Structure 1
Amino acid sequence: MATSNLVVEVTSADIPSSSNTSPANYFAEVCFNGQNARTAIKQDVAVWNERFCFDMRQRDKGPCGDLILEAAVYSYDQISDSKSLLGKVLLSDEYFHRHGANVDPVQYPLLNSTGHENGKVRLKLFLIDAADRILLESEGNNGLNDIYDYLFKSKDGYVEDDNVDQHGPVSLEPDDAAPTEINPNFEPGRLVERMQLLFVRVIKARKLPDMDANGSLDPYVEVQFGAFNRGVTKCLKRSKNPEWKETFAFSFQFQHGQTPNPGVDVIVNDKDVVKDDFVGKVHFDLKDIPTRSPDDDAPLEPTWYPLLDQCGTKLEQASLLLTIWIGSQADEAYRDVWVSLYSSKVYEKPNLWWLRVTIVEVQGVTVRHDDGAAADGRNAQRDTELRCRARLGKQIQRTRAVTKQTTTSGSYEWRYEWKQDLLLVAAEPFFEGVLELEAVIDSSKTVIGQLILPLSAIGTSGDMPVPDRWFDLTRPAAAVQLEDSVDIANSRMRICLNVILDGRYHIVHDSRGYLDDTRPADRALWRAPIGRVHLGILRATGLPLRKNRSAMNPYCVAKYGDKWVRTRTVLDDGGAEHVFNEQHTWSVYDIATVLTVGVFDHCPDAPHREIGKVRIHLSSLERGRIYAHSYRLIILERDGVKRTGELQLAVKLSCGIALLRTYARPVLPRMHYTHPLSATENEELRSGAANVMALRFGRAEPPLRSEVVACMCSAAASGYHHWSLRKSKANFHRLVQLASPFVSLFHGVESVRSWRDPAATLLALAIFFVALWFHDLVPTMLFLCVVFKGVWNYRFRPTLPPYVDYRVSYLDVVHPDELDEEFDTFKSSREANLLRMRYDRLRMISGRVQTVVGDIASQGEKIRSLLSWRDPRATAIFQLFLLTAAVVVYLAPKKLLVGLAGLYIMRPPRYREKNTPSTIASFISRLPSNRDNLM
Structure 2
Amino acid sequence: MANQSKKQNQNQNQNQNQNQNQNQNQNQNQNQNHCHNQNSNKNTDEDFNLRETTPSLGSGRIARNDRAGTAFDLVEQMDYLYIKVVKARELQGNPSPFVELKLGGLISTTRHMENTSIPEWNQVFSILKDRIEATLIEISVKDKAKGNDLIGTISFDAIDVPRRVPPDSPLAPEWHRLVNKKREKIAMELMLAIWMGTQADEAFPEAWDLDATSVNGDGLGSIRSKVYLSPRLWYLRVNVIEAQELQIGEKNRQQPEIFIRVTIGNMILQTKISQSKNVNPLWNEDLMFAVAEPFDEHLVLSVEERTAPCKDENLGTVTIPLQEVDKRLDFRPPVSKWYHLGKHSNSDKNANVLKSRVHLRISLDGGYHVLDELTHYSSDLRATARQLWKPPIGVLELGILSAQNLTPTKTANGNGKGSTDAYCVAKYGQKWIRTRTILNSVNPKWNEQYTWEVFDPCTVITICVFDNSKLQAPNSNNKDSRIGKVRIRLSTLETGRVYTHLYPLIVLTPSGITKTGEIQLAVRFSCASLLNMMMMYSQPLLPDLHYLHPLSCHQIEILRHQATQIICKRMSRAEPPLRREVVEYILDVGSNMWSVRRSKANHYRIAIILSALVKFVKWFDQIRSWKNPLVTILVHILFLAFVCSPWMISSTVFLCLFLIGAWNYRGRPRHPPYMDVRLSQADAAHGHELEEEFDTFPTSLTQVDAMKMRYDRLRAIASRVQTVLGDLATQGERCYNLVSWRDPRATALFLMFCLIASVVLYVTPPKAVAAVMGFYGMRHPRFRDRLPGCPTNFLRRLPAKTDGLL
TM-score, scaled to structure 2: 0.84
1:557 corresponds to which residue?
Answer: 425
What is the SS of the residue equivalent to 2:594? coil
Q: Please, what is the CA RMSD of the aligned residues?
A: 3.4
Q: Structure 2 counterpart of 1:531, which letter?
A: G
TM-fit CA distance, 1:288: 3.4
TM-fit CA distance, 1:687: 0.9
Tell me if 1:230 matches 2:108: yes
Q: Distance in 2 between matches of 1:470 and 1:930?
A: 51
TM-fit CA distance, 1:309: 2.4
Deviates more, 1:446-455 or 1:729-738: 446-455
TM-fit CA distance, 1:337: 4.7
Tell me if 1:538 matches 2:406: no
Q: Which has the higher helix share?
A: 2
Q: Distance in 1 between matches of 2:148 and 2:714?
A: 68
Q: Distance in 2 between matches of 1:881 and 1:322?
A: 99
TM-fit CA distance, 1:663: 0.5
What is the SS of the residue equivalent to 2:494? coil
Q: Answer yes or no: is the 8 Å Cα contact 2:206–2:224 preserved in 1.
A: no
What is the SS of the residue equivalent to 2:537? helix
1:181 corresponds to which residue?
Answer: 52
- Aligned with residue 735 of structure 1, among 601, 606, 609: 606
Tell me if 1:749 matches 2:620: yes
Q: Distance in 1 between matches of 2:697 and 2:200?
A: 52
Decide whether aligned partners of structure 1 residues 335 and 775 sit closer, same or farther in structure 2, where only a CA change above 3 A counts: same
Q: Distance in 2 between matches of 1:400 and 1:897?
A: 60
Decide whether aligned partners of structure 1 residues 616 and 106 sit closer, same or farther in structure 2, where only a CA change above 3 A counts: farther
1:895 corresponds to which residue?
Answer: 767
Q: Answer yes or no: is the 8 Å Cα contact 2:497–2:525 preserved in 1.
A: yes
What is the SS of the residue equivalent to 1:883? helix
Q: Structure 2 counterpart of 1:559, which letter?
A: K
Q: Distance in 1 between matches of 2:243 and 2:748?
A: 64
Q: 1:359-758 maps to which residues of 2 (within 5 A)?
A: 359-367=240-248, 380-381=252-253, 385-402=257-274, 405-406=277-278, 414-430=279-295, 432-442=296-306, 443=308, 444-445=311-312, 447-463=314-330, 464-478=332-346, 491-546=354-409, 550-572=418-440, 575-604=441-470, 605=476, 606-655=478-527, 656-657=529-530, 658-715=532-589, 717-718=590-591, 720=592, 722-758=593-629
TM-fit CA distance, 1:834: 1.6
Q: Structure 1 counterpart of 2:151, which letter?
A: V
Deviates more, 1:751-760 or 1:854-863: 854-863
Q: Structure 1 counterpart of 2:126, which letter?
A: A
Q: Structure 2 counterpart of 1:356, which letter?
A: R
Q: 1:317-396 maps to which residues of 2 (within 5 A)?
A: 317-331=187-201, 334=204, 337=207, 341=221, 342-367=223-248, 380-381=252-253, 385-396=257-268
2:78 corresponds to which residue?
Answer: 195
Q: Deviations over 1:834-883 (max 9, x none)?
A: 22222222323333333333333333333332223334443333333333
- Aligned with residue 836 of structure 1, among 686, 708, 713: 708
What is the SS of the residue equivalent to 2:346? helix
Q: Distance in 1 between matches of 2:106 and 2:321?
A: 47
Decide whether aligned partners of structure 1 residues 261 and 395 sit closer, same or farther in structure 2, where only a CA change above 3 A counts: farther
In the comparison of the two structures, how many residue pairs are matched? 741
2:133 corresponds to which residue?
Answer: 260
1:28 corresponds to which residue?
Answer: none
Q: 1:248-287 maps to which residues of 2 (within 5 A)?
A: 248-252=125-129, 254=131, 260-270=133-143, 272=145, 275-287=147-159
1:89 corresponds to which residue?
Answer: none
1:74 corresponds to which residue?
Answer: none
1:772 corresponds to which residue?
Answer: 643
TM-fit CA distance, 1:624: 0.9
Q: Distance in 1 between matches of 2:101 and 2:32?
A: 72
Q: Answer yes or no: is the 8 Å Cα contact 2:112–2:144 preserved in 1.
A: no
TM-fit CA distance, 1:315: 2.0
Q: Answer yes or no: is the 8 Å Cα contact 2:341–2:354 preserved in 1.
A: no
TM-fit CA distance, 1:757: 1.1
TM-fit CA distance, 1:366: 2.5
Q: Distance in 2 between matches of 1:847 and 1:209?
A: 82
- Aligned with residue 758 of structure 2, among 862, 866, 886: 886
Q: Answer yes or no: is the 8 Å Cα contact 1:173–1:812 preserved in 2.
A: no
Q: Structure 1 counterpart of 2:319, which letter?
A: I
Tell me if 1:911 matches 2:778: no
2:213 corresponds to which residue?
Answer: none
Q: Distance in 2 between matches of 1:814 and 1:896?
A: 55
Q: Deviations over 1:682-718 (max 9, x none)?
A: 1111111111112222222111112221221122x35
Q: Deviations over 1:317-359 (max 9, x none)?
A: 4343433222212346547756961211111111101111222
Q: Distance in 2 between matches of 1:232 and 1:695?
A: 30
Q: Distance in 2 between matches of 1:824 and 1:333?
A: 45
What is the SS of the residue equivalent to 1:709? helix
1:790 corresponds to which residue?
Answer: 661
Q: Answer yes or no: is the 8 Å Cα contact 1:218–1:271 preserved in 2.
A: yes
Decide whether aligned partners of structure 1 residues 468 and 106 sit closer, same or farther in structure 2, where only a CA change above 3 A counts: farther
Q: Distance in 2 between matches of 1:838 and 1:302?
A: 68
Decide whether aligned partners of structure 1 residues 748 and 261 sit closer, same or farther in structure 2, where only a CA change above 3 A counts: same
2:748 corresponds to which residue?
Answer: 876
TM-fit CA distance, 1:121: 8.9
Q: Distance in 1 between matches of 2:299 and 2:104?
A: 51
Q: Deviations over 1:239-268 (max 9, x none)?
A: 45x6666544332364xxxx7244322223
Decide whether aligned partners of structure 1 residues 694 and 294 sit closer, same or farther in structure 2, where only a CA change above 3 A counts: closer
Q: Answer yes or no: is the 8 Å Cα contact 1:171–1:813 preserved in 2.
A: no
Q: Answer yes or no: is the 8 Å Cα contact 2:495–2:524 preserved in 1.
A: yes
TM-fit CA distance, 1:176: 3.2
Decide whether aligned partners of structure 1 residues 470 and 865 sit closer, same or farther in structure 2, where only a CA change above 3 A counts: closer
Q: 1:84-163 maps to which residues of 2 (within 5 A)?
A: 107-108=27-28
Decide whether aligned partners of structure 1 residues 320 and 359 sit closer, same or farther in structure 2, where only a CA change above 3 A counts: same
Q: Distance in 1 between matches of 2:313 and 2:432?
A: 42
Q: Deviations over 1:136-186 (max 9, x none)?
A: xxxxxxxxxxxxxxxxxxxxxxxxxxxxxxxxxx99934433221122111
Q: Structure 1 counterpart of 2:740, which letter?
A: S
What is the SS of the residue equivalent to 2:282? strand
Q: Answer yes or no: is the 8 Å Cα contact 2:394–2:455 preserved in 1.
A: yes
Decide whether aligned partners of structure 1 residues 929 and 205 sit closer, same or farther in structure 2, where only a CA change above 3 A counts: closer
TM-fit CA distance, 1:505: 0.7
TM-fit CA distance, 1:640: 1.8
Q: Deviations over 1:640-664 (max 9, x none)?
A: 2222222211111011311111111
Q: Answer yes or no: is the 8 Å Cα contact 1:280–1:308 preserved in 2.
A: yes
Structure 2 gap segments, 5+ residues each: 1-12, 14-23, 62-69, 210-219, 471-475
Q: Answer yes or no: is the 8 Å Cα contact 2:419–2:442 preserved in 1.
A: no
